[in-house]
Amino acid sequence: MSSVSTDRKRTAPIAAVILAAGKGTRMKSHLPKVLHEVADLSLIEHVIRSVSIAKPERLVVIVGHEAEAVEARVRTAYPGAVTALQDPPMGTGHAAMQARAALEGFEGDVFILFGDTPLIRSATYARVVETKAAANATLAVLGFHAVDPGAYGRLVTSADGELEAIVEAKDASPDQLAIRYCNSGVMCVEARALFRLLDKVEPRNAQGEYYLTDLVALARAEGGRCVAVAGEEAEMLGVNSRRDLAQAEAAFQDRARDAAMIEGVTLTAPQTVFFSHDTVLGRDVRVGPNVVFGPGVVVEDSVEIRAFSHLEGAVVASGAQIGPYARLRPGADIRSKARIGNFVEVKNAVFEAGAKANHLTYVGDAHVGADANIGAGTITCNYDGFLKHRTKIGRDAFVGSNSALVAPVEIGDGATVAAGSTITRDVSADALAVGRAQQVEKAGLAKKLRAKLAEAKAALLGRARDKS
């Protein structure tokens, strides 16, 4: 059976229920709140990724607003997930009730999570489970000590540290509002107690809703033990507005930058570098200012990525050099000691070891052989308006500046393409290909042309003065 390991006490199997039915009206968006992204991954996928490390036997997502869109993303992120509909929304307790059928027969602990809290670490979830097991508690709540408690629910604890109640700010007394120990919303409950307790929840509060937080008092009334686990406030940020979304992005980026530097990456100007949720960087990678990593980037050891470069869906092998001002698009495969220079764009193309395109070049749908050189202004003309076609450039080939390689076409090993050529047929190995129009010279014509243009310009200026 799936479990989170602990040295203190073996924990029970885990199920997870993620509440994701809200409209998120403060986002001012047509997109469901939980599908907004931090580091190129939706909020709910962040939650799923963190809790999935606990290997839950069942994962249930409660959907409501734009249910089909949320369901589609959830099943992509976690194919084994089950969804349940909350309609109409009547509070967090009511939302959790909708998981009853999906959890039928499950014995263990049920995590209740929120789909808009992307920063909670898997280790924090594990600590909640471990603390609950060690205390032999019915229920454990993840809390935090807030600098400004504001509208957060307050955790009321006893002198011996047990959790006595969670009081919503709107329902709290002045003394309770002074408490700075706050509720994150995350709760872990014994499955055998969960729905029995939920059935006792009543909407006796300022909102007229079924509060999940009432489970604490209900469990204690049955003689159950409840505990609170303190986490870091920075992890507990819930995204309810665009401002919150920006704060979550900033927090994720700070965390990713620190992790990269701890693992041996040099960031020249850390605050200007942006990572995706799945960026992988090797040791001794050097990253210059204003570099952006989109999804799907793997960079091996000892790579230099110079300033203002953008990478997405790309693999960069050890010793390669990228940028400045380079763009690697999906399918870019840059191999050992290859060089992609300034204002070079690579898409769905392989650069073998030592190959280089140092400036002002587009290489798409191509294979560039080892130690080949692509001159400035070269374009692989890969699209005919309907289909994409590939270009193959051989080992040690040299493509002169301002060349157009009209795909499908192959440049043989060791071949040279003269600068300014348009290549429409294959070039044999070690051959020189010249694809230019014939140069024609007309003696004295430039002088005559300059005189004629100067006369026309003077006449134009004269007419303008006459009108004024």
Q: Is 429 exposed, middle or buried (0-12, 13-18, 19+ CB in 10 A)?
A: middle
Could you give the CA distance from residue 317 to residue 298 in angstroms, rounded to a whole number? 8
DSSP, residue by residue, 74-122: HHHH-TT-EEEE--S---HHHHHHTTTTTTTT--SEEEEEETT-TT--H
Closest-CA residue to 378 (of 431, 421, 335): 421
389 is catalytic: no
Could you give the CA distance from residue 292 to residue 304 in angstroms, rounded to a whole number? 14
Give residue 64's identity as a one-letter amino acid code: G
Could you give the CA distance from residue 80 to residue 60 in angstroms, rounded to a whole number? 9
Query: Contact 58/106 with Cβ under 8 angstroms?
Result: yes
Tokens at residue 343, please?
């204002």
277, 310, 359, 367: which one is catalytic? 359
Closest-CA residue to 51 (of 90, 19, 8, 91): 19
Helical H segments across 264-375, by residue range: none
Could you give the CA distance from residue 201 to residue 212 in angstroms, rounded to a whole number? 8
SS3 content of the chain, % helix, strand, coil (to 5): 25, 30, 45
Could you give the CA distance from residue 222 to residue 137 in angstroms, rounded to a whole number? 12
Cβ atoms within 10 A of the Cβ of 128, count?
Answer: 26
Tokens at residue 180, please?
């700075």
Q: Which residues contact 220 (CB under 8 A, 6 or more apart)?
A: 164, 165, 226
Could you give the CA distance from residue 329 to residue 462 in angstroms, rounded to a whole number? 53
SS3 92: helix
Cis peptide before 79 (omega within 30 of 0): no
Annotated catalytic sites, by residue? 359
